[in-house]
Amino acid sequence: MNVAAITRPRLSQVWSWLAEIPDPEIPVISLIDLGIIRDVAWRGDTLEVTVTPTYSGCPATGVINLEIERTLVEHGIEKLALKRQLSPAWTTAWISAEGREKLSTYGIAPPQEGTAACAGALMPLTVACPQCGSTKTERISQFGSTPCKAHYRCTECLEPFDYFKSI
Amino acid sequence: MGATPEAIAEFALRMGDNCLILGHRDSEWCGHSPALEEDIALANTALDHVGQAQLWLGLACEAEGKGKTADTLAFLRDASGYRNLLLVEQPNGDFGRTIMRQFLFDAWHLPMLKALVHSSDKRVAEIAEKASKEVAYHLDRSTDLVVRLGDGTRESQTRMQAALDFLWPYTGEMFLGDALDDELEAAGIAPAPASLRPAWDQHVNRTLAEATLKAPDKSYAQKGGKRGVHSEHLGFILAEMQFLQRAYPGAKW
């Protein structure tokens, strides 16, 4: 009889624990919503969690790894290995439907897929205001409060807002 | 035929040092930009570059296999050990020069990374895949600003033309190959520097025309950065960037 099999929590259980960890910078969405947990697997008695960074320089990466470790240790995981995976590179297409909904409610316009930057041609983009829903908005800056967001302004309700850039 | 680990390490230094030094230069604007939005945008660009530097320098350490880390490479190397292009270490000057420097670099960086996505070295290809998505946004932004400032007021146009004239001699180095480049090209690791010129010319010429700016008629290239011969400016950057680790070796956050 395999003793390890009894003490090893099921992977679906591990995924649901990870789904409770908020993104440090946008705490309304979880790491699972964000699509950065690429794999969870048992290698013998070690739980291997594969994480991909959103942006190369994202300062949240370190905090995210700490949070994953803390959460899983709290749930009794003794041997844990965090694996960084660069390829395939993270894309906003991996943000879940639920995550997009939460972003919008929070006041961040969710990314529009297929509009990523391409070789110096600024794409005209209609982004609906997450506050009032108007499409009469304008881009203030392509880089907002973090590299992953652009800064917009609604010309109808006059509120500034962040747009999560497609990447 | 593969390239030697030393060649991969040296190449990773060249890529990483460009990112690190330009990232540091951009970060010097933090709190000083002409507008809050631009301040934030430059800080974010700096962040991307420093993150990319971490990946490249990490690869350099891995290839070299002597137990160094990206941090020791960044903080404990002297100027002659740095392999960045002279372009990225040039002083920020006014906002226009900073944007022009970014534009001239981005227009090279993006095609370079796009070519590296097909590198025969998987580690190089992975970093390039990641970084190219970020750099596409840098090029969008710097292109847009060069056009707006060039084709802007008389003041902004004059400043952008002066920036272009000042930086132009530093652009040629991006396309000059040496023995290491030959080795990397033969091994399918990286493209020949000269092969990136047509894409750069096309984008830069089109943008400058739209910006009502004129590229200088000179082709003389200042060079040396790729082999560790730098302008006087790099030492000052390192003095600031490395001060803490030099004064308090091993200090941690």
The domain of B145 spans: 5-247
Mean pLDDT in residue range B121-129: 97
Domains delineated in chain A: 3-90 (3.30.300.130), 97-164 (no CATH)
Give the pLDDT confidence of B70-88 residue by residue, as tens digits: 999 999 999 999 999 999 9
Average pLDDT on A32-42 reads 96
What ipTM was predicted for this assembly? Answer: 0.88
Q: Going by C-beta distance under 8 Å and a sequence separation of 6 or more, which residues neighbour residue B43?
A: B26, B27, B29, B30
The residue of chain A with its CA nearest to that of B204 is A120
Structural domain contains residue B47: yes
For the stretch B206-239, pLDDT in tens is 999 999 999 999 889 999 999 999 999 999 999 9
Binned at pLDDT 50, 70 and 90, residue A117 comes out as confident
Q: Considering CB atoms only, which of B55, B134, B140 is closest to A120? A: B140
CB within 8 A of B222, min separation 6: which ones?
B86, B169, B170, B172, B173, B231
Q: Is residue B85 part of a domain?
A: yes
CA–CA distance, B185 with B177 (Å, rounded to integer): 10
Which band of pLDDT confidence, cut at 50, 70 and 90, is reported for residue A119?
A: low
Q: Quick one: pLDDT band at residue A59, thresholds 50, 70, 90?
A: confident
Mark yes or no for CB contact A141/B140 under 8 Å.
no
Look at residue B16 in the predicted model and tell me its pLDDT: 98
Query: Which positions in chain A touch B55 (Cβ < 8 Å)?
Result: 56, 86
Contact A141 B54 (CB under 8 A): no
Q: Is residue B253 part of a domain?
A: no
Q: Looking at chain B, how many residues does it have?
A: 253
If one counts the domains in chain B, the total is 1
Q: Is residue B252 part of a domain?
A: no
| CA dist., res. B62 & res. B5, Å (int) | 9
CA-based nearest distance A94→chain B, Å: 15
**If you average pLDDT over every residue of chain B, what do you get?**
96
Give me the CATH number covering residue B231: 1.20.1260.10
Asked if the Cβ–Cβ distance from A56 to B131 is below 8 Å, we say yes
Question: Which residue spans within A44-154 are E strands per DSSP?
Answer: 46-51, 80-84, 108-109, 137-141, 149-154
CA distance B216 to B168: 7
Is B207 an 8 Å CB contact of chain A?
Answer: yes
The alpha carbon dihedral of B51, B52, B56, B57 has a sign of negative
Determine which of A143-152, B38-47, B75-84, B102-111 has the lowest per-residue pLDDT on average.
A143-152
Question: Does residue B217 belong to the interface with chain A, where contact is any CB pair within 8 Å?
Answer: no
Q: Residue B49 and residue A140: Cβ atoms within 8 Å?
A: no
Cβ(B150)–Cβ(B208) below 8 Å = yes
Does the beta-carbon distance from A86 to B139 stay under 8 Å?
no
For the cut 90, the answer to whether the pLDDT of residue B150 exceeds it is yes
pTM of structure: 0.94
Q: What is the pLDDT of residue A142?
A: 86
For every residue of B83-98, which 3-state class applies, written as one string?
CCCHHHHCCCCCHHHH
